[in-house]
């Protein structure tokens, strides 16, 4: 396969079931649109069903034969996660791809999820941790199934797992809180892959990051650059989605790999395997976070 991987390299996805969280806009939308165009049945797991319906209609307008469905999911509510997982388990006994895309970034002031978790950690990590655990049996029935979790270059910026104050109750730093959630995404991926390997499961876990992509997720970024310069510094969402798509569909991809742009600083470019921080590979941190996440969510895994 050529080195400059594009959406055209996504293999035929006919017969596959893909669940994409946060698929109504940005990276999630572009990921879902390509998978649907390639023949997958794509479930748009979204918080706002009206926005989800508009996204589904857009995908169908671009790809008339696209097969898409909606699933209500609010990752900031464990009740919603359980309800969505129950419905998905019933409707889709097999799931080929589970893409943990939804997230929030740089929330200006500390906000809490419906369960009292800091919003970025609760949504970006704990919500997906719970969802994946509840759906894992449906993935384990499928040879070649994959879990792809979206991290960020932000996993390196002020990033540390603050086990003594995971919910940022003693003092809130939006950049560090985001970094913690994105580091958690990688720690989760690597621990999940180790567990899958140890049990001989047919499923693999991978991660990806979009570089600097111009999406709604960036709305809380400090305005240090004029919009004209910001456009030059970023890449469009359809490019930012390519690392996710490669992790999800490239036949050569392997469990535990991390995909990101190939440009300078991994800011922009075509997707390739990239390295994550040394901290993200700390096995003790991975295991400790897993144990804490099980306790906080009440969800345990069959692997």
Q: What are the catalytic residues?
A: 178
Q: Which residues of 219-229 are buried (b: 16+ CB within 10 A; e: fewer)?
A: eeeeeeeeeee
Tokens linked to 262:
């190939």
Q: Which residues of 61-82 are buried (b: 16+ CB within 10 A; e: fewer)?
A: eebeebebebbebbbbbbebbb
What CA–CA distance (Å, rounded) separates 138 from 119?
Answer: 28
Residue 268, CA distances (Å) to 169, 186, 187 in order = 35, 20, 24
What CA–CA distance (Å, rounded) separates 45 from 43?
Answer: 6
Query: Dihedral (C-alpha) 110, 278, 281, 258: value to the nearest 10 degrees?
Result: 80
Residues with Cβ within 8 Å of residue 113, at least 6 apart in sequence: 76, 77, 119, 122, 123, 126, 127
Tokens linked to 298:
């009440």
């Amino acid at each position: 396969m050529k080195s400059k991987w594009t959406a055209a390299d996504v293999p035929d996805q006919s017969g596959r079931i893909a669940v994409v969280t946060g698929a109504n806009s940005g990276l999630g939308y572009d990921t879902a649109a390509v998978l649907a165009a390639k023949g997958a049945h794509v479930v748009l797991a979204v918080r706002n069903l009206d926005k989800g319906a508009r996204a589904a209609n857009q995908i169908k307008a671009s790809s008339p034969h696209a097969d898409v469905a909606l699933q209500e999911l609010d990752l900031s509510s464990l009740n919603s996660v359980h309800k969505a997982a129950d419905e998905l388990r019933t409707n889709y006994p097999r799931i080929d791809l589970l893409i943990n895309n939804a997230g929030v970034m740089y929330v200006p002031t500390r906000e809490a999820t419906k369960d009292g978790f800091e919003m970025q950690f609760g949504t970006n990590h704990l919500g997906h941790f719970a969802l994946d655990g509840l759906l894992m049996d449906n993935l384990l029935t499928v040879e070649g199934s994959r879990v792809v979790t979206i991290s960020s270059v932000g996993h390196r910026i002020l990033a540390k797992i603050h086990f003594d104050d995971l919910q940022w109750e003693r003092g809130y730093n939006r950049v560090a809180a985001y970094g913690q959630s994105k580091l958690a995404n990688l720690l989760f991926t690597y621990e999940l892959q180790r567990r899958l390997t140890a049990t001989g499961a047919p499923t693999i876990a991978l991660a990806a990051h979009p570089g600097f992509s111009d999406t709604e997720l960036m709305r809380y970024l400090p305005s240090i650059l004029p919009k004209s310069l910001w456009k030059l510094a970023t890449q469009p969402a359809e490019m930012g989605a390519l690392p996710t798509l490669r992790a999800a569909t490239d036949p050569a991809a392997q469990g535990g790999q991390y995909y990101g742009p190939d440009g300078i600083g991994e800011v922009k470019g075509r997707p390739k395997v990239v390295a994550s921080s040394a901290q993200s590979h700390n096995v003790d941190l991975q295991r400790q976070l897993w144990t804490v996440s099980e306790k906080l969510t009440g969800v345990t895994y069959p692997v």
